[in-house]
């Protein structure tokens, strides 16, 4: 096998890449999905409550609200402007603190407080702002809450939905760049007869397959790393994340090669990807629905690469926590190799007999 010849075929494939729709999809889709999910779920499920305050007397309440991390605070000079913005749903709530409000609260004179609530605001935001405002006023008064609240968390605390969707985006990056790109590249060469033209030159079929595999490997690796970076999910140990992504790229590029070798034409390849797509995608569902029995996810081949990415890149586990999964992924790669060699011989004979 000649590395120089592999490189020449690979270089041609990368140069031709931007002229191939699959190559472009592989580059664009993970970015589009990231932006889409961040836009849809990032702001839909995690909007900060928006509060406006008109403070005529430098109240401690304003200072407390300013220091609260979970509230987006805007200060106004006039109550009219505050009211207008609440009515326009630019704010969830508005608070008008007259001069001497803190002193009046401490005196126990129960001063009136104007609190505007936007009718179209989220109920959750209204509740948060109301409870926070009342709690802060009680602190100004010097009183304490009449109950002791014991907080019990369920599920994985602090894991936003956008992170839960990372396996979905990574899956698309892996399947498009790793499976569809090398698979379609090989099938197109077969369909158009250019593969036969290459094979009557000094290039061997094993060298063409190696080039297609490297095409998938490099593209998958870059796209998966970029997807993790875009989603802020590269983990506390970037090197560990790179290792698991590399193993994932090895496996998906090998799957792409298998699809390309098996498929006689584009129609068959699309059929295969569609049919196998369900099996490939299945393990991703367990990250969206973590209460499902985990053992079922392990039946699907891509589980063994999605799980290490999840554990290392998203959950911050070290490589040592996923060595078994990585080992199984590499074993799947090794098992596919002789199968591809066998199928490649049949493919060559079939092409020549065409």
The count of residues in the chain is 354
Could you say which of 88, 197, 288, 341 contacts other proteins (CB under 8 A)?
197
- 139 or 191: CB nearest other proteins: 191
Q: How many residues bind other proteins (CB under 8 A)?
A: 25
Q: Does 1 bind other proteins (CB under 8 A)?
A: no
Q: Shortest Cβ distance from residue 263 to other proteins (Å)?
A: 18
Residue for token pair 């002789």 = 338
Please, what is the minimum distance in Å from the beta carbon of residue 181 to other proteins? 15
- To other proteins, the closest distance from the beta carbon of 193 in angstroms equals 3
Q: Among candidates 38, 153, 54, which has minimal Cα distance to 99?
A: 54
Instruction: Catalogue the E-assigned strands of 89-217.
Output: 93-97, 114-117
Distance, CA of 343 to CA of 260 (rounded, Å): 10
| Interaction of residue 352 with other proteins, rule CB under 8 A | yes
Report in angstroms how near the CB of residue 353 gets to other proteins at its nearest. Answer: 6
Per CB under 8 A, contacts with other proteins among 330-349 are 348-349
Segment interacting with other proteins (CB under 8 A) among 98-106, 201-209, 240-248, 300-308: 201-209
Q: Which is nearer to other proteins, 203 or 261 (CB)?
A: 203
Binding residue for other proteins, selected from 199, 315, 332, 336, defined by CB under 8 A = 199
Q: Is 73 helix (H, G, I), strand (E, B) or coil?
A: strand
194 binds other proteins (CB under 8 A): yes
Helix (H) or strand (E) holding 304: helix 303-309
In terms of Cα–Cα distance, which of 254, 310, 321 is closest to 286? 310
CB atoms closer than 10 angstroms to residue 150: 5
How far apart CA 159 and CA 151 sit, in angstroms, is 17
Q: For the purposes of burial, counting CB atoms within 10 Å of the CB of 336, is it exposed (0-12), middle (13-18) or buried (19 or more)?
A: middle
- Window of 87-95, 135-143, 194-202, 278-286 that interacts with other proteins by CB under 8 A: 194-202
| Near other proteins in 12-71, by CB under 8 A | 12, 16, 19
**Spatial contact of 13 and 215, defined as CB atoms under 8 Å apart:** yes
Task: Give Cβ neighbours of residue 256 (< 8 Å, ≥ 6 apart).
Answer: 178, 179, 180, 181, 182, 183, 212, 213, 216
- CB nearer other proteins, residue 196 or residue 321: 196
Q: Which residues make up the interface to other proteins (CB under 8 A)?
A: 2, 4-5, 8-9, 12, 16, 19, 192-194, 196-204, 348-349, 351-353
């Amino acid at each position: 096998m000649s590395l120089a010849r592999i490189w020449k075929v690979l270089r041609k494939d990368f140069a031709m890449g931007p002229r191939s729709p699959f190559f472009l999809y592989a580059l664009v889709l993970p970015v589009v999905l990231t932006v889409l999910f961040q836009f849809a779920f990032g702001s839909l499920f995690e909007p900060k409550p928006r509060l406006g305050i008109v403070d005529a007397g430098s109240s401690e309440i304003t200072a407390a609200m300013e220091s609260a991390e979970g509230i987006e605070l805007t200060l106004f000079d006039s109550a009219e402007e505050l009211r207008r913005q609440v009515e326009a749903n630019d704010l969830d709530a508005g608070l008008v603190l007259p001069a001497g409000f803190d002193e009046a609260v401490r005196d126990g004179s129960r001063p009136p407080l104007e609190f505007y609530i936007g009718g179209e605001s989220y109920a959750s935001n209204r509740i948060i702002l109301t409870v926070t405002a009342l709690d802060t006023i009680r602190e100004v008064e010097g009183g304490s809450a009449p109950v002791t609240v014991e907080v019990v968390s369920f599920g994985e605390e602090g894991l936003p939905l956008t992170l839960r969707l990372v396996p979905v985006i990574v899956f698309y990056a892996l399947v498009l760049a790793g499976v569809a790109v090398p698979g379609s590249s090989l099938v197109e060469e077969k369909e158009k007869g250019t593969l036969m033209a290459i094979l009557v030159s000094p290039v061997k079929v094993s060298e063409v397959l190696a080039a297609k595999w490297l095409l998938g490997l490099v593209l998958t690796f870059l796209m998966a790393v970029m997807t993790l970076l875009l989603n802020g999910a590269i983990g506390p140990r970037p090197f560990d994340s790179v290792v698991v992504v590399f193993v994932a790229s090895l496996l998906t590029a090998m799957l792409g090669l298998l699809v390309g070798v098996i498929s006689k034409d584009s129609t068959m390849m699309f059929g295969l990807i569609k049919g196998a797509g369900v099996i490939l995608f299945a393990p991703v569902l367990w990250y969206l629905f973590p209460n499902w029995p985990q053992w079922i996810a392990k039946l699907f081949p891509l589980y063994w690469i999605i799980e290490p990415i999840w554990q290392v890149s998203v959950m911050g586990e070290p490589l040592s926590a996923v060595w078994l999964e990585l080992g199984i992924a590499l074993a799947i790669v090794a098992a596919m190799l002789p199968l591809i060699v066998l199928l490649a011989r049949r493919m060559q004979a079939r092409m020549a007999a065409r």
